[in-house]
Structure 1
């Protein structure tokens, strides 16, 4: 049996050398300089970031200080304005109340004044004198009483100056009224006798 033919492979080995790219391997000095530049750039970036953070910190502290001042001023002014508003409301209420009281007082005084001004003792006849005199004295006394009550009512208000001297006027009027009553009581018998004499003369 014939043997199988032997196949012989001839490997061709190329004599090639691996060449290093000039860009792949730098000189030792150039590599250190590059690293130094890189480190310097990183350091400058860190320094810039540090300065930026410091600036933000200072700005934030300033804003927080102003914020605290604002809150303090806000609280203080809120309290002052609230207190002032309450006092103003109270003052306005008292002023309106006093104004209403003054309007009522003026209306009352105007009514008394109209009645008093209509009193004309000179026009009264002898027969009218007792009745009208009592009525007129009652009118004056009523007006005097209400005047005194009004003076007491407004004595502690800003309108107290309106009624200054009311005590003195009241005392003077009381004294006048007493003297008038005394004079009338003293002269009444004389007036009565004169009236009787006049009637007797007319009847003759």
Structure 2
């Protein structure tokens, strides 16, 4: 048999099929870098947003804390001021009432003082003595009674010191003591003359 004939086929491969396009490779690298930069930028923005949210959260918590403190202080001061205003109003009312009472008391005492200062037992004649004594004693006893009532009234107030150390009004005198005083006053001139006559007699 004749020997087999070998056939050789030459395959031509284009350079573009075996070699990578440099421009295409560079363009792909730029895309990756660009995406990385975008991702990095987005990450930084997210981080900044997170930090901003954290800051706003802290500020909100601080403001809420201050608001709670304000509300607590507001409630406390409202109660304290309201109570103080009520007590002050009551104190002012009582002080004004006491001032009114003192003014009435002063007017009353001034009237009694004028009447008592006008009494002049030395100028009373024997005929007028009994009548004048009755009138004078009534004036003095009336003043004593009202003075005692005033002292008792103001004993529970800040004006109690006005009447401190001064005796209260005397109890009304009995009929016997009044008659005794009147009789003594009526017979005082006679008793005085008798005593003087006795002294003169003894001296002789």
After TM superposition, the score normalised by the length of structure 1 is 0.74
Structure 1 residue runs without a partner (length 5+)? 1-21, 196-204
Aligned residue-pair number: 170
**SS of equivalent residue, structure 1 residue 128:** helix
**1:65 to partner: Cα distance:** 0.6
1:40 is matched with which residue? 40
Relative to 1, partners in 2 of residues 1:135 and 1:37: Cα closer, same or farther, differing over 3 Å?
same
**SS of equivalent residue, structure 2 residue 126:** coil
1:163 is matched with which residue? 163
After TM superposition, the score normalised by the length of structure 2 is 0.74
> What is the alpha-carbon distance in structure 1 between the residues aligned to residue 106 and residue 123 of structure 2?
29
Superposed, 1:82-93 pairs within 5 Å as 82-93=82-93
> What is the alpha-carbon distance in structure 2 between the residues aligned to residue 81 and residue 131 of structure 1?
64
1:154 is matched with which residue? 154
Relative to 1, partners in 2 of residues 1:35 and 1:23: Cα closer, same or farther, differing over 3 Å?
same
**1:162 to partner: Cα distance:** 0.4
Q: CA RMSD in A?
A: 2.9
> What is the alpha-carbon distance in structure 2 between the residues aligned to residue 120 and residue 187 of structure 1?
14
Superposed, 1:16-27 pairs within 5 Å as 27=27
> What is the alpha-carbon distance in structure 1 between the residues aligned to residue 188 and residue 131 of structure 2?
19
**Worse-superposed segment, 72-81 or 178-187:** 178-187
> What is the alpha-carbon distance in structure 2 between the residues aligned to residue 88 and residue 23 of structure 1?
95
